Amino acid sequence: QDKVAIVTGASRGIGAAIVRTFVAEGAQVVGVARSGDALEALRAALGEAASRFVPRVADVTSAAAARDVVRETLERFGRIDILVNNAGVGHFAPVHELPEAAWDEMMAVNLKAPFLWSQAVLPHMMERRDGHIIMISSVAGTTTFVNGAGYCASKWGLMALADTLRQEVRPYELRVTAVCPGSVQTHFGGTPPRDYALRPEDVAHTVLEVAAAPRRVIYGTVIMRPLVPADQQ
Ligand code: NJP
């Protein structure tokens, strides 16, 4: 409640679910993605909570965009309590067939962008000695699988970033959490949703739980897996 959050990758899937969950709890949320129409559609669907949602079109791989969104959010709300680095892309192919551009996009969106957005928000959070950075990582950041070399490498990198940052900012009483879902029912990676998968709302619920924990508590890494197939949920 009364928190101010920035959520990247807010136009659909897990990011949109996090926006819906946060604004329902009374938070003010700046949602970032490239698809302005999808962000507007999300705002329209929020009903009376729409006034607590600020859509912002940006490419998360731009350092300038990260700085601008952080500055605008501070000008508007005076503080940022939570950054959710959620935007992500997946390209799945064996190493000998994975296009260089696909590798580069995964590194830029899944790994470099969380660095850029964390770096943009950290001076404010460190000065305030309050704040929480939540990385939407993946079980792919804890294991490997065929066709997942680039995606797993980007998420393993993200886990290393989260782990290091958690240690660095602990003296400032800041929290860093990596949420690692298994398959989630979205259109991630251009694939149709799988039967055996979590729902975006499940991940959003965990993000809320992690963010709402008492300040003395840090959730470091949270691993989530589906327990039963979707049609039995
Ligand atoms: O994916 P999807 P999810 N600049 O494709 C945005 C992780 N995860 O919700 O720009 C700005 O529905 C894109 O917006 P747009 C996964 O690695 C998932 O499933 O408008 N935004 C959209 O809002 C990722 O980190 C599964 O195209 C950019 C969002 O990202 C996170 O969950 C399993 C952008 C992607 O929405 C959300 O994935 C798992 C850019 N350059 C981890 N590029 C799963 N679904 O199974 C993309 O373990 N976006």
Which residue is catalytic, options 151, 172, 196, 219?
A: 151
The amino acid that residue 160 corresponds to is A
Q: What pLDDT score does 193 carry?
A: 72
- For residue 176, the domain's CATH number is 3.40.50.720
C-alpha dist (Å) from residue 27 to 20, 23, 62, 233: 10, 5, 26, 29
The tokens for 221 are 């890494």
Number of domains in the chain: 1
For ligand 1, atom 42, name the residue with the nearest CA. Answer: 138
Q: What pLDDT score does 233 carry?
A: 65
Q: Is the CB of 73 under 6 A from ligand 1?
A: no
Q: What are the helix and strand counts (H, E) for the chain?
A: 7, 7
Asked whether the beta carbons of 195 and 230 are under 8 A apart, the reply is yes
Nearest of 130, 132, 138 to residue 159 by alpha carbon: 138
Which parts of the chain have pLDDT scores under 50?
none
- Domain containing 147: what range? 4-232
CA of 13 to the centre of ligand 1 (A): 7
Q: What pLDDT score does 229 carry?
A: 74
Count CB-CB contacts under 10 A for residue 99.
Answer: 11
Global ipTM: 0.99
CA of 12 to the centre of ligand 1 (A): 8
Whether 196 sits among the annotated catalytic residues: the reply is: no
Note every long-range contact of 111-115, with CB atoms under 8 Å and residues 24 or more positions apart, other chains counting. 111/154, 111/157, 111/158, 111/161, 112/61, 113/8, 113/60, 113/61, 113/66, 113/85, 113/87, 114/85, 114/158, 114/161, 114/162, 115/161
Q: Give me the half-sphere count of Cα atoms (radius 13 Å) on the Cβ side of residue 17.
A: 18
Note every long-range contact of 191-194, with CB atoms under 8 Å and residues 24 or more positions apart, other chains counting. 191/92, 193/230, 194/230
Nearest of 153, 205, 197, 154 to residue 179 by alpha carbon: 205
Q: Are strands 82-85 and 53-57 parallel, antiparallel or unpaired?
A: unpaired
Give 204-223 pLDDT, tens digit per residue. Answer: 999 999 999 999 999 999 99
**Which of 57, 61, 69, 86 gets mutated to test ligand 1 (max ligand atoms within 8 A of its CB)?**
86
